[in-house]
Amino acid sequence: MVKSEPQSRPVRGLVGFDDQTVNDLEFSAIRSGLEAHCSSEAAKRRALTLEPTAHRPTVLAALESTDELRRIRVEGYTFPSLVFEEIRGEIKLLEVSGSALTEAGFMRVLQCTRLVNDIVGALHGRERAFPRLCGMLGTVSENKEIVKEIEAVFDPKGGVRSNASDELARIRINMQTARRQVNRLFDKAMRACTKQGWLADTAEGYINERRVLAVASTHKRKVRGSAMGTSKTGSVTFIEPADCHQVNHELEMLRDDERREIVRILRELTQRIRKHTPLIKAQQRLLVQLDFIQAKVKLALSMDAAKPNLVKDLRVDLLKAHHPLLLLAHRNKGLPVEPQNLTLHQGRRVLVISGPNAGGKSITLKMVGLLQAMVQSGLLVPVHPDSAFGLFKQILTDIGDNQSIENQLSTYSYRLNRMKGFLASAGRNSMLLLDEFGTGSDPELGGALAEVFFEELYDKGVFGVITTHYANIKTRATQMTEAINGSMLFDAETLSPTYHLDLGQPGSSFTFEVAELNGIPEALIGRAKQKLDPRKVQLDGLIASLQKEKTRHAKMTDRKLKAEHEAAEAKRAYESRAEKLEERQESVQRVGQDQNSALVRGKKLQQFIDRFKSGQANKTLLEDVRKYLSVEATKQAEKAQAAAQKKAAAQQRKKSRRTEQHTDKIAVGSTVRLKDGRQRGEVLTLKGKKATVAFGEFRTRVEIDDLVWIR
């Protein structure tokens, strides 16, 4: 049995992860989605109160246990369906001396015990494949005693068996005898009434579990018995025949005896089960925990989520990342979602995103925050598995989605108060997400104050993503060594957003271009340009031109890199096929040579046999045989030596190629290029014989042998 992980004190959530942050990131929607996949009330409560933590062991355990159960479900391993009813009420009764569980309560305990036994059996011997899930079992083991005790008393339908006690068996035999007697007397009375024509169309009925005659009310005084009731119209009177009354009374007494005997049996059974209360409690905790993990798996499967790498340094490395809620919404509508690549680390920890409205700035910012919050809550996220996340002690947000003319002043005051809190609490372990940074006041004055805030937060060492239209914020970011500008690209021809993030330069708002596209007269646009500083108009135009040119260049570079990568893959595939073909040809040749050699040896052996003379010394023959065997042994040794030399030469050529490419020096952060290419890239991750390399914004997984180390 795998030992459980040591219990630790409760892990607290992130400092500053308040209701506003939950609303800003729409984390409550993730909670609700998770809650919808839970079966038990305890798991649902846990889902609705889920929050991120910076406690690495807790986050790692949650991610790994969720991914293990995801693998079990996806890869088709044998594992029971986690369907059960909670037994909190039954556990409370077991803790009260002299109490008795109900029939339904025992069925719930039996169901949970059987399910846990199936879980223990499914995980048995799989400690290496699923260490986290096996570790969750703790002291919980397969228990057949509880099952045996309950099944001895209850039948498969949940009723108490007649042989649960001798007294119950006797009572039920008497009840059967009484029922047969009642039925015989009732049938006799019904035949008599039928003969007289006193019964209604429906000859009989049941009242309080007793058979009664359905007598037409006009004949009710002609029938001996007790009136038990009438129909709604009063046309039918229900009468219990007098001959049945005494026997029915005795049957009622027997039913009461049966109920009392069942209560006694259940109390005794409860007493026998009570000693297993600690185990039953542990079973309940395990099932609730697995129910919660299963809900996380279902949520993950709905968005094709994966377990990213959890790194010890502070960084966010997103590969093919999607905004979880946007992905689900678009998937339901059949719409595509553009994946994003984004990296923040100590040398590039602040990203300032600019660009046109409705271009995806806020979505990208929210995506970073929501993915970070989900990972630190132990949830799988819709990113490439090679993505990496560090753990932050704070996630601070100010996302202004609710601005309006009526509350502009109050909104700005609120945002200033929130910024005051950020300035007081933010530090090197904080992730800061600011949307439309500096808006809400006079553009020039608000921009100046926003720049000061930006400098202060930067000096505190925070990680962050900021969206803005302010030119001074974009300019200031270019002057900071650990900050970088980014822009949401626009299609140069249609001026429609591509929702793709481009790093390295600020983005143009495309204000005048979008206005022209929407039918605003050129004369009005021209007048607007005249009211601005010409240098600002020229700068914005220059940025727009650069952005268009960079987009065109990036597309060309991506196509070139993809072609180089595909060429390298094709070359590797060709070399592999050629090598296999050569090996096959050599194998065929070896077989032919071996067969020819065997044929020659056979002929030689036949010659020796023909020369052999029975009854004589045959000294000359034996000497010839020894010489022949010596020559053959020498040939075989030379052949083996030649094969070994050929293999060694092939290995040396392979080693020489690796030495020339310095592949042994390749590590995360290395600058490399493709063996047959010139474009330089940065190694993001290494896994086995493959590396994830970023060539600008183009990222791909490459065989390490196809790379050349540069520095």
Q: What is the pLDDT of residues 406-451, one digit of tens each?
A: 444 456 677 788 888 889 999 999 999 998 876 666 566 777 888 8
Output the domain CATH number for residue 454: 3.40.50.300
Contact in structure between 240 and 228 (CB atoms under 8 Å)? yes
Q: Cα–Cα distance between 550 and 586 in angstroms, integer?
A: 52
pLDDT tens digits along 337-375: 888 889 999 989 999 988 776 667 889 999 999 999 999
Does residue 379 fall inside a structural domain? Answer: yes
Stated as kind and residue range, the H or E segment containing 309 is: strand 309-310
Token pair of 686 as six digits: 């290494």
Tokens of 203: 């000859």
Residues 6+ apart with CB under 8 A from 697: 341, 502, 503, 554, 558
Based on the fold, state whether residues 415 and 297 are members of the same structural domain.
no
Structural contact between residues 685 and 309, judged by C-beta atoms closer than 8 angstroms: yes
342 and 295 in one domain? no
Angle, nearest 10°, between helix axes 144-153 and 103-123?
150
The token pair that represents 119 in the structure block:
């879980």
Q: How far is CA 211 from CA 149, 172, 226, 343, 401, in A?
A: 37, 19, 12, 80, 70
Domain assignment present for residue 289? The answer is yes
Spell out a b/e string for 625-662, using b for 16 or more CB atoms within 10 Å of the CB, else e.
beeeeeeeeeeeeeeeeeeeeeeeeeeeeeeeeeeebe
Is 554 within a domain?
Answer: no
Report phi then psi at 525, rounded to 5.
-65, -40
Note whether 35 and 41 are within 8 A (CB). Answer: no
**Measured on CA atoms in the order 535, 537, 541, 543, is the torsion positive or negative?**
positive
Cβ–Cβ under 8 Å, residues 502 and 550: yes
Q: Which residue has the tokens 């002043």?
A: 409
Query: Looking at residue 6, what is its pLDDT?
Result: 40
Max Cα distance, the chain (Å): 136
Rounded Cα gap, residues 60 and 137, in angstroms: 18
Contacts of 468 (CB under 8 A, 6+ apart): 352, 353, 354, 436, 437, 438, 450, 474
Do 109 and 217 have their domain in common? Answer: no
Question: Which residue is it, tokens 């919980």?
Answer: 140
Residue 83 structure tokens: 């369907």
Residues 218 and 107 in one domain: no
The residue type of 198 is W
Q: Who's near 395: CB < 8 A, 6+ residues apart?
A: 14, 16, 17, 21, 25, 52, 369, 372, 373, 376, 430, 431, 433
CA distances to 298, 321, 343, 499 from 387, in Å: 21, 8, 9, 20
Q: Which H or E run contains 418?
A: helix 408-425
The verdict on pTM exceeding 0.85 is no
Instruction: Please give the Cα distance from 312 to 501 (Å, whole number).
Output: 26
Helices (H), 26-165: 27-36, 41-48, 56-75, 88-94, 103-123, 131-137, 144-153
How far is 692 from 684, CA to CA, in rounded Å? 5
Distances (CA, A) of 313 to 59, 146, 310, 504: 15, 49, 9, 23
Regarding whether 315 and 294 lie in a shared domain, the answer is no
CB count, 10 Å around CB of 82?
20
Does residue 453 sit within a domain? Answer: yes
488 and 351 share a domain? yes
Are 353 and 454 in a shared domain? yes
Distance CA 190, CA 178 (A): 18
Asked if residue 295 lies in contact with residue 302, where contact means CB atoms within 8 angstroms, the answer is: no
For residue 707, the model assigns a pLDDT of: 82
- Region for 50 from its dihedrals, namely left if φ exceeds 0, alpha if ψ lies in -120 to 50, beta otherwise: beta
Report pLDDT for 497: 65
Position 62 in a domain: yes
Contact between 198 and 215 under an 8 Å Cβ cutoff? The reply is yes
- The two structure tokens encoding residue 348: 């590039």
* Residue 568 within any structural domain of the chain: no
The mean pLDDT of the chain is 83
CB 685 within 8 A of CB 386: yes
Model pLDDT, residue 401: 52
Residues 108-118, buried b or exposed e (16+ Cβ, 10 A)? bbbbbbbbbbb
- pLDDT for residue 406: 45
Question: What is the CATH number for 668?
Answer: 2.30.30.30
CA 306 centroid distance within chain:
6
On whether the CB atoms of residues 345 and 313 are closer than 8 A, the answer is yes
Assign residue 396 a region (left: φ > 0; alpha: ψ between -120 and 50; beta: otherwise).
beta
Condensed to tens digits (0 to 9), the pLDDT of residues 42-52 reads 999 999 999 99
Q: What is the DSSP letter of 159?
A: P
Indicate if 241 and 359 belong to the same structural domain.
no
* The one-letter amino acid at 565: H
Do 377 and 459 fall into the same domain?
Answer: yes
The torsion of the CA quartet 419, 421, 425, 427, rounded to 10 degrees, works out to: 0
Task: State the Rg of the chain over Cα.
Answer: 41
Residue 61 lies in a domain: yes
pLDDT of residue 502: 76
The last residue of one of the domains, among 531, 566, 597, is: 531
Token representation of residue 598: 């065997």
Beta strand 236-241 with 225-230 is: antiparallel
Residues 96 and 198 in one domain: no
The pair of three-digit structure tokens given for residue 272, joined into one six-digit string: 């026998």
Q: Is residue 596 part of a domain?
A: no
Which CATH number do you get for residue 241? 1.10.1420
- Domain limit, last residue, from 496, 531, 566: 531
Question: What six digits make up the tokens of 391?
Answer: 């753990």
Q: In this predicted structure, what is the pLDDT of residue 1?
A: 37
Tokens 């040809």 — which residue? 585
Low-confidence ranges of the chain (pLDDT < 50): 1-9, 402-409
Question: Can you read off the two tokens belonging to residue 575?
Answer: 């070399």
Residue 420 makes CB contacts below 8 A (sequence gap 6+) with none
Asked if residue 290 and residue 253 are part of one domain, the reply reads no
CA-nearest of 114, 115, 137, 139 to 126 is: 137
Pair 295, 317 in one domain: no
Q: How many domains does the chain fold into?
A: 4
Half-sphere exposure of 264 toward its Cβ, with a 13 Å CA cutoff? Answer: 11
Pick the closest to residue 220 from 230, 233, 211, 210 (CA basis). Answer: 230
Residue span of the structural domain in which 181 resides: 164-259
